[in-house]
Amino acid sequence: MMAETYVRHVQLLGFEKRFFPSQHYVYMLLVKWSDLTEKLIYRTYPEIYTFHKSLKEMFPIEAGKIEKRDRIIPSLSAPPWLDSQKSTETRQTTLSDYCHSLVNLPPHISRCTHLTGFFTVRPEDENPPSPNILKRNETFVVSKDLARGNVSEISGPIILDMYRAIADYTKTTKYEINLHAGDQVEIVEKNQNGWWFCQCDSKRGWVPASYLEPLDGPEESEEAEPDYGGELYITIKAYKAEQEDEITLDLGESIEVIHKLLDGWWVVRKGEETGYFPSMFLQKANKREQSESSRANVQGHKPPPRRSTIRNAKSIHNKSRQRLSQDTYRRNSRRYLHQKGGQVVKPDPYPRNVAKSPLRERRNQGNIPEESSTISENEGKREAPVIPPRPSPELILQRCSDNTRKKISIHKSSSASTSKPGQA
């Protein structure tokens, strides 16, 4: 069976020596897909060899099991009993050639679901691994000249996006890199969680996207427009709002994502409330079977800092990124839902087990007591749509256009003139 999205090429970036749960080596592979996305994945050599053996079993003719002359699947040597750093390093050229041969096999092999599934991002690939307090991981990167040679051999040269740091950034884990304002970096992978894998001179590591800006202009064009129809997600980790434009959500809540932003802070909608929420704590609602592994994967991880919290940020662009306010998101959401024919259900002022966000607390600074009702009353109210009250004539005159205001005044004057004879 062939997959709709297939692998266009695989670039070997290097390998990493890890010590948890025991010492082992993983290869860093940059996978480029037919839909123009790029993903960084980590695979051990035994995993690659196990995949290789199963691929041969799926295609025995192309593996040369019937006739050796018919073999087109590349060869791969079995892993040694005891893997070493030297064998891992010397094997890199072989792996590059193997990946090059794989993606150039006939489509019924190179685009089969087994091959695409192996190179698909796993939950443990999505976020930087948690720090190991016992021993530091060691990363070994292929030299730039060698890497470019491999890429050219596989699929032609790759031009990585160039960005610059808008402020100094000090790494908080060994998987990140330090940056100084003005440093130029190449982007290897743009992760949706707001952590980008970058190369700065000879250093490689994760950096918050909020500290970076493109060299050629503001990155508004890279970000999709808001989708007020919303995409259903569930929270895999609770988060309490720290700023007034953020939203507090508990574990397991269903929300709608209406705007995906590059810095990893997405705008979500819960009832009529909207706010920023860390995307790394969200998972698509139709992937509940992965919720346990994803939930365990985000434990110990922190969301990237928001750009609004960065001090002394210095941009080289005259035009800065334009951000919509939460009032605008809420207003546009209501307008979209009403135009679609649906009605907005007003949320409870204090949902059970959910802390109030700073924005909600700020709205009630006058300590005005809010109406309370029983659970059964609330459930009854939710069944009927909430119809917004009709605005008063004074409010309509205040907000309407000049042309409408003139027409209304003309209509009033004509009505007054026609009613006078009757009054006499």
Beta bridge partners of 24: 18
Residue type, 265: W
Stretch 343-356: mean pLDDT, rounded? 47
Contacts of 79 (CB under 8 A, 6+ apart): 45, 46, 49
| Residue in the block written with tokens 């959401």 | 333
Neighbours of 207 (CB within 10 A): 25
Write out the two tokens for 145.
């000249």
- pLDDT tens-digit readout, 203-254: 888 899 999 988 766 544 566 788 888 899 999 999 999 999 999 999 999 9
Beta bridge partners of 274: 269
- pLDDT tens-digit readout, 36-73: 888 899 999 999 999 999 999 999 999 999 999 999 99
User: Do the Cβ atoms of 127 and 193 come closer than 8 Å?
Assistant: yes
Task: Report all structural domains of the chain as residue ranges with CATH numbers, in order of start.
Answer: 7-126 (3.30.1520.10), 231-329 (2.30.30.40)
Neighbours of 339 (CB within 10 A): 9
What local confidence, expressed as pLDDT, does residue 187 receive? Answer: 84
Beta bridge partners of 140: 15
Q: Which DSSP letter does residue 78 get?
A: P
Largest CA distance in the chain: 112
Assess whether pLDDT exceeds 80 at residue 151. Answer: no
Distance in angstroms (rounded) separating the CA atoms of residues 284 and 185: 31
| Residue in the block written with tokens 């005259």 | 318
3-state secondary structure 138-172: EEEECCHHHHHHHHHHHHCCCCCEEEEECCCECCC
For 188, the 3-state DSSP assignment is strand
pTM of the model: 0.49
- pLDDT tens-digit readout, 360-380: 444 444 444 444 444 444 444
- Least-confidence region, from 7-11, 168-172, 262-266, 295-299: 295-299
Residue-level length of the chain: 424
Going from the C-alpha of 101 to that of each of 65, 204, 236, the distances in angstroms are: 19, 27, 39
Neighbours of 364 (CB within 10 A): 12
